[in-house]
Amino acid sequence: MNLAELFSQYGYLMLLVGSLGEGMPIMLFGGFAAHRGWLALIPWVILIGAIGNAFAQAVWFFGARYAGRRILEKRSDWAAQVARVDRLLEKWEAPVVIGARFIPGFSSTAVIAVALSAMPSTRFLVLNGIGALAWASTFGVLGYALGQAIEGFLGEIERYETPVAVGLLVAAVLWIVWHHAQTFRSAGRKRA
């Protein structure tokens, strides 16, 4: 099975699963795969990335609505960050909900703060959908542009598509692992 067949068969599933977590690298990869013709950027890469991101944010939101105060009692570092986000929410409620997902590490804190605020669930869901579409569009198009830049730099990319695609995929996985390791490491230091 070559890369085109592999991504044609499993690419959208990989994109959905990847966008449920720290999905920025996966969305960049999805845009690159669309540039190569393995996936369709519009509408599928963007739509599937947005669905995964919106779903993940909604899970965090409703989970924090249910157990947020108890979580913050155990994670004092998060409580301090949520207090800072609360001040931002007073002035810029919609931009925080829409834009927080663009800042690695800020998204989880922001969605907890939003969940513990007085914002109605329906307002959050609308802003979350707008933010997820903006996020998926941005990183999908950036990934597509990355594919064009690589092709412009390397010329005929077919010779390099396997190492470039594997490199991008490995970089995406390493980014996700590194990000989660940092989160767990900081949680361990705060408890000690």
pLDDT tens-digit readout, 20-75: 877 888 898 899 889 888 899 999 999 999 999 999 999 999 999 998 888 888 87
Q: What is the DSSP letter of 75?
A: -
* Low-confidence stretches of the chain (pLDDT beneath 70): 1, 3, 157, 160-161, 179-180, 182-192
Q: What is the DSSP letter of 158?
A: G
Tokens of 64: 């924090």
pLDDT of residue 190: 54
CB-CB contact of 5 with 40 (8 Å): no
Q: Which residues contact 176 (CB under 8 A, 6 or more apart)?
A: 18, 21, 22, 25, 26
Q: Which residues contact 25 (CB under 8 A, 6 or more apart)?
A: 18, 168, 171, 172, 173, 175, 176
